Chain A
Amino acid sequence: MPTSAEPPRTIERKIYLDRAIFERELETIFTRTWQYVGQAAELGALGDFLSATIAGQPVLILRDEQRRLRAFFNTCSHRGAELTSGRCGNTGRALRCMYHGWTYDLQGRLTGVPYREAYGARFDAQAYGLKPIRVETFAGMIFVSIDPEIDSLERYLGEAAPYLKKYCDNQEVIGRIRWTYDGNWKLWHENFADNYHPEFTHHWVRDAQFGYANEGENRQLDPGHGLLTWPQQPLHLDRLAAGLKKASGLEVDPTKNPEYDFPPFAIDEAEPDVVLTLFPNFDLQYFFGGAVVILEVETPLAADRTMVEMLSLAPIGEPEQARRWRLERSAGIQASSGKISGDDTEALARCQRGATVRAVPLSNLERGQARGKIGQARDEYSLRSFYAEWNRQISAG
């Protein structure tokens, strides 16, 4: 089990801006980590595929004839065209490049080259198969890595593995929402690893979840992961009404808003609410005893531009009423449209702009002074865990 370097207590703000550091992140961190791409349940049939972009490079994951998952760089060996279009689909029993018709089987072997005789007798089709990348699944989740030497997924998940299995096992995707923001990818991931901000950034948390994070824990999970847990909060709709009125002048009665009705299935209120952050760019939210399970992955587009994709998950084969509730309600606080997340992108955009100030080069990461890996809910062991691993990976050869 790799041990993290001493967790840093400051962040140099230039890491949100500097293009050389951004390029280095693609070469090191995004190349040498496991990257979540989707749920195994999305690839049910022969030839089903998902595409993704890892370290700026297109990849393809598919289900072959033996029901195995295969993953490749999504580039034709001939002239480089991507073999598929769109986020997902079905390619049948072969991948055929739309450009010159070169064809590959689902194991990536080159099986068809139109007018092959022009290449002469020495043309070696075996050398022109698709370049495979590593693919593994854990708890029904598909991860890939473009580093052929990377450790197994389970070893990489480290101390986070049991939590991922507990909170996310065997779910299917019920919907996806994407948004972009003008900020560095690390800012969004940090936002998850941070339980200090919600009651200040989000008036809805301050009011409807009064007492948020007064109890709970903040944990470093090796290597580079984090776990935030806090007790489920009963909703304080009276405080919400007062807050809405103070901000807007409107008299609102949230008790008459079906958004705040209980879901049509039992919730174990003793279960804590959970955020699990995996290094480098994966974030899981598990709320109301699993009534809401949300995954987010940050894709770096540029040092100051990021795409976030949010997936809402649900148990495979759940009853129709429960499914309908999740489809209607699970994303209401999420995404750049959400009652909570709508404020997060504001905070991050401001941090990105403020980071340009050369005279103030450092950010503070000191919450939680006790040694060790576990602190109180609003501490920053989870953030320091991330940056210890970030430092280690970015300086590796």
Chain B
Amino acid sequence: MDSEAAEKRIQIEDLLVRYARLLDERRFPEWIELFTDDASYSAITRENLQDKGLLLFKDDGREALKERAAFVMGYYQAARFRTLHTVSNIEIGPSSRDETACSSYFVIYRSPWNGPPELHACGEYRDRLVMIGGGWKFRERLVIVDNGALPQNFTELP
């Protein structure tokens, strides 16, 4: 791998890791800044991805992302809990200098206040990233959730 490709890989990994940390630390305004203004953020279960494509949700554009953040910042009455997002198995896809596809695995744990951590969800992120203003951002993130059944509270952002 040449040094430009290596540098690109490091930057992209940093983006994926930053996404996880900003969610876990509930730094939502900064999380929104990881997306382009016209970005699409959606989620689907693996079962529906392999069937007809029914989404859990689809957020298009900055205002939709802000609304989703506002839900988990107090609009929901459903309980909040600590999450831990891990990301791994990162594969950088076909790309040009300023755009790239990327896929990775994720595992999310939730830690209730009164018990040990529990597995919340696992699956795959499928991304399209663009280089804007010197840094990579998400133009599209599809969260593919492997769960055959969601947990009772799936309101935290995956």
A residues in contact (CB < 8 Å) with B: 174-183, 201-204, 243-245, 247-259, 307, 312, 326-332, 335-339, 342-343, 345-347, 349
Contacts and interface: CB of A to CB of B under 8 A. Distances in A.
A96 B43 CA distance: 38
Contacts of B148: 178
Nearest to A261: B60
Interface in B72-94: 73-79
8 interchain residue pairs of minimum CB distance: A175-B54, A248-B73, A181-B152, A247-B74, A248-B70, A179-B150, A337-B154, A178-B149
A249 B73 contact: yes
B61 A346 contact: no
B52 A174 contact: yes
B55 A339 contact: no
A312 B55 CA distance: 10
Contacts of B58: 259, 328-329, 332
Interface residues of B, number: 41
B132 interface: no
B108 to A, nearest CB: 13
B135 interface: no
B70 A250 contact: yes
A336 B153 CA distance: 5
Nearest to B149: A178
Contacts of A181: 152
Contacts of B152: 179-183, 336, 345, 349
Contact of B53 (A175, A253, A255, A339): A175
21 contacts: A174-B54, A176-B48, A177-B56, A179-B149, A203-B77, A247-B70, A247-B74, A251-B66, A252-B70, A253-B63, A256-B64, A259-B59, A259-B64, A327-B55, A328-B55, A337-B56, A339-B71, A343-B77, A346-B79, A346-B153, A347-B77
A86 to B, nearest CB: 10
Contact of A243 (B43, B52, B75): B75
A249 B73 CA distance: 9
A337 B152 CA distance: 9
Interface in B31-76: 42-43, 45, 47-48, 51-64, 66-67, 69-71, 73-76
Contacts of A339: 57, 71
A335 B56 contact: yes
Given A177-B150, A253-B63, A312 B78 contact: no
Contacts of A255: 63
B151 interface: yes
B73 A247 contact: yes
Given A252-B63, A332-B58, A179 B75 contact: no
B29 interface: yes
Given A176-B48, A179-B152, A336-B155, A256 B61 contact: yes
B152 to A, nearest CB: 4
A335 B66 contact: no
Interface in B110-158: 148-155
Contacts of A329: 55, 58
A175 B52 contact: yes
A176 B46 CA distance: 11
Nearest to B58: A328
Contacts of B151: 179-180, 336
Contact of A332 (B51, B57, B154): B57
B15 to A, nearest CB: 22
Contact of B78 (A175, A327, A342): A342
Nearest to B78: A346
Given A174-B52, A177-B56, A342 B73 contact: no
A367 B155 CA distance: 31
Given A337-B154, A342-B154, A343-B76, A257 B69 contact: no
A312 B56 CA distance: 11
Given A175-B52, A179-B150, A180-B151, A343 B78 contact: yes
A332 B52 CA distance: 16
B56 A346 contact: no
Q: Which of B54, B62, B71, B153 has the most CB of A within 10 A?
A: B54
Contacts of A250: 28-29, 66, 69-70, 73
Contacts of A183: 152
Q: Which of A179, A204, A326, A342 has the most CB of B within 10 A?
A: A342
Contact of B150 (A202, A204, A257, A335): A335
